[in-house]
Amino acid sequence: MTTVARENGTVLDLKFDANGLITAVAVDADNGEVLMVAFMNREALERTLQTRKATYWSRSRSKFWVKGEESGHVQEVQDILIDCDQDCVLLKVRQKGVACHTGRRSCFYRSVLAMSGPESLKIIAEPLVDTKAVYASKK
């Protein structure tokens, strides 16, 4: 497919990186807040489309990762958008509980103030749930 067709057309033609992955950004379907960024391979996107439950590819564990399958903090997918060059998808989700494994609603809970130093980041959101307890209760 040509670049023009990929960018202007109506045919899905994913542009994977060297590892067969695309970037996936999950945002709250109601207020647009960015919740997390992860990765998908083709099958993860297909499973997400079919089940409407956000399913990523875990690079660290080399396996499919149905978001919330352990914690219960699932993401019900309302819509999936794709960007111009088809190497990134945007998931509009209904987030049950919290998106971040630290217990925050969003993984983006720190503001960057400087490139180095003991206070180069400023914490702007605190955990809403005790995720240690959440994961322990599932074991």
- How far apart are CB 56 and a second copy at their closest, in Å? 13
133 binds a second copy (CB under 8 A): no
Q: Which of 61, 62, 63, 115 binds a second copy (CB under 8 A)?
A: 115
Out of 29, 66, 74, 90, the residue judged to bind a second copy by CB under 8 A: 90
Q: What's the token pair of residue 59?
A: 């690079």
Residue 44: which of 61, 27, 28, 20 has the closest Cα? 20
Asked whether position 94 contacts a second copy by CB under 8 A, the answer is no
Beta-bridge partners for 40: 22
Is residue 111 close enough to count as binding a second copy by CB under 8 A? yes
* Alpha-carbon distances of 84 from 11, 16, 35, 45, 96, rounded to whole Å: 12, 13, 22, 17, 29
Of positions 15, 83, 96, 134, contacts a second copy by CB under 8 A = 83
DSSP conformation letters of 117-137: STTSEEE----SS-HHHHHHT
Residues lying near a second copy in the complex (CB under 8 A) are found at 7-12, 23, 25, 27, 31-34, 36-37, 42, 45-46, 49, 79-85, 88-90, 100-102, 104, 107-112, 114-124
